[in-house]
Amino acid sequence: MAGSGVVTFEEWVPQPRERVWMALTDPSVLARWWARGDIAPEVGHRFSMDMGVWGPSECRVLEVTAGESISYTFAEGSLDTTVTWNLESQGSGTRVGLIHYGFDLDSPAGRQAYEGMGRGWPRVMARISQALEEAEANGS
């Protein structure tokens, strides 16, 4: 976590970049490590993510560089933040970079979300590798 209203985190995943891209953009794999949602790596695509007790988060894809990065709004109408994923091949795996920004630190809800996601993203991202292993075992 760094900066004002910005959460950053990196995780090395022992999978090739193409597989990690699938974890970020294939709804069935994304649901295994983060949340259910009908994501598609297409600029302008609107989708909803099921965030459990926090309810649905409405999202819209802003930018895509296939296999390398995807950026989308997150929780439009409530948090109004942006999530950006960057992938870089590194050795036998992939360095996954996350930038989650736009938190309104002047509002109690914005500050609570910032602090909660700053603590939560490392745990969430740590599940990517296992989700890919499970998907591979199931033929995905």
The CATH code of the domain that includes 48 is 3.30.530.20
Domain limits at 94? 6-137
Nearest Cα neighbor of 93 from 12, 21, 4, 5 is: 12
Whether 1 is in a domain gets the answer no
CA-based end-to-end distance of the chain:
33
The pLDDT, as a whole number, for residue 3 is: 43
The pLDDT, as a whole number, for residue 135 is: 87
Question: Strands, DSSP E only, in the chain?
Answer: 6-13, 36-37, 46-50, 56-65, 69-74, 81-90, 93-101
The pLDDT, as a whole number, for residue 89 is: 98
Kindly state the helix (H) or strand (E) to which residue 25 belongs, with its residue range. Answer: helix 17-25
CA R_g for the chain = 14
Residues of the chain where predicted confidence (pLDDT) is lower than 70:
1-4, 140
SS3 87: strand
The pLDDT, as a whole number, for residue 1 is: 40
Whether 14 is in a domain gets the answer yes
The pLDDT, as a whole number, for residue 136 is: 86
The pLDDT, as a whole number, for residue 50 is: 95
Whether 122 is in a domain gets the answer yes
Say how many domains are in the chain: 1
CA 45/CA 20 separation, integer angstroms: 20
Whether 89 is in a domain gets the answer yes
CA 85/CA 23 separation, integer angstroms: 11
